[in-house]
Structure 1
Amino acid sequence: MRMEDLRAPDTPATRGALELAAALHSPALLNHVLRSWLWAEAFALLEDRRGVDHELLRTAAVLHDIGLVPAYDNVALSYEEAGGQVAVALTAGAGWPAERRQRALEVVVRHNWPAVDPGLDVEGYLLEVATGLDISGARPDALPADFVREVLDRHPRLGLGAEFTARVTEQAARKPTTAAHRLVQGGLADKLAHHPHERLTAG
């Protein structure tokens, strides 16, 4: 498995999502969302997942943490719900019908579920396991080691641990009923500080 095997769909939605993320995310968070897409596509190949909507998966992956940036930090909604609403607006502009726009919201929201049934939502499942790997270090040996190193060389972790911990902890303090609080209480800081990929990247 190589990065060149995983080609992002080139559509108005995917281009718009990347442009927005690149403009608003720090380098560490931008690398995180791009790695999350690569991990998600890699899990789809590894597990032979059929019927994946790759445009939807790419768009949701790139936007899944946009609710953490000040421009889209909602006063009441969880950061994944706020990000999902950004995905709805962007895909509306790209001409997606209402049902597919709702799917963008669902996939972004479900990435923060403790687990997603692939029979319910295969794209939500793939993004959840991908972000679980990149943030919590879940299933660190599931993907081929050479592929993991290639991805980390192209998109290093930089200061993701400290930055993501700070942003989610701040969200949890203001929105204690949201998933951010569960993540913090579940040891987010420690998981990021001791993430198995930290020793594989020079960033």
Structure 2
Amino acid sequence: MTLARLKSVAGVRIPDTALCIAAVDLLESSSPKFLCTHCLRTYIFGSLAVRSLGRPVADEEAAFCAALLHDLGLIPPYRRDSRFEIDGADAARDFCAKHQVSPERADLVWKAIALHTSPGISTRLADEIALVHLGAGLDFLGLGLDQVPPQVLDEILEKYLRMTFKSQFRDLLVEHCQHNPAAQVLTWTDDVARTAGCTLHGKTIPTASQIMSAAPFDE
């Protein structure tokens, strides 16, 4: 499978350096096809989003690698004991170290992945970090979709099919929550975990309000 071997999509150039090709190889060898196309769309949508904001991306390699590897933490070989964003960021840092990426650039990739579900934070940081957040948010939740011209959207979805992404991604999230329910507490996935019936120490995943009410401090 060579999903990313296109030279450009919707006016966005696909980086083809050795590092970027290695990121593609890792994504395609470890992830289901629906997740591969999601990660590629994340890069395209994110690139268009930061471009529309007048924010030039200085390190295309780092942005591309972060976009392609941002969901590694949901894949069984890379699941550890943290929330999936952190597990994925750690796996991407290992990838960077293997390919002799400098610690500073590897840290940029780590932050872009670790913070990609953090609204209000990612967009205030480096453009590479904002790219992954905006791209993933658009493809996953449709945030900013109304700003994408129909012909551009059609081209992206023609090149990188969705393949029932919404339902398959939800199943992957639920599987992650069931594997590690403790990591979901006080994160955005705690609602997914509760809806899926995940338990922690035999009890339903607590809400923030429940945790505050149970805190052992007086007013």
Normalised by the size of structure 1, how large is the TM-score? 0.83
Structure 1 residue 162, shift from structure 2 partner? 1.3
Q: Which residue of 2 aligns with 1:78?
A: 83
1:63 aligns with 2:65: no
* 2:189 maps to which of 162, 176, 181: 181
Q: Which residue of 2 aligns with 1:5?
A: 11
**Bigger relative contact order, structure 1 or 2, given CA contacts below 8 A and separation 6+?**
1
Contact 1:133–1:139, Cα closer than 8 Å, also in 2: yes
* Paired positions, count: 185
Q: Which residue of 2 aligns with 1:50?
A: 56
* 1:18 maps to which of 24, 49, 71: 24
Q: Which residue of 2 aligns with 1:128?
A: 133
Contact 2:177–2:193, Cα closer than 8 Å, also in 1: no
Structure 1 residue 178, shift from structure 2 partner? 6.2
Q: Any idea what SS the aligned residue of 2:189 has?
A: helix
Q: Any idea what SS the aligned residue of 1:118 has?
A: helix
Structure 1 residue 121, shift from structure 2 partner? 2.3
Segment drifting more, 104-113 vs 4-13: 4-13
* Distance 1:21-1:73 versus aligned 2 partners, 3 A rule: same
Q: Which residue of 1 aligns with 2:47?
A: 41
Structure 1 residue 186, shift from structure 2 partner? 11
- Gapped runs of 5+ residues in structure 1? 188-203
* 2:161 maps to which of 148, 156, 165: 156
The code of the aligned residue for 1:157 comes to R
RMSD (Å), alpha carbons: 2.2
**Partners of 2:85 and 2:70 in 1: CA distance:** 7
**Partners of 1:172 and 1:116 in 2: CA distance:** 24
Normalised by the size of structure 2, how large is the TM-score? 0.77
* Distance 1:139-1:56 versus aligned 2 partners, 3 A rule: same
- Gapped runs of 5+ residues in structure 2? 1-7, 196-219
Percent of pairs identical after alignment? 24
Segment drifting more, 173-182 vs 40-49: 173-182
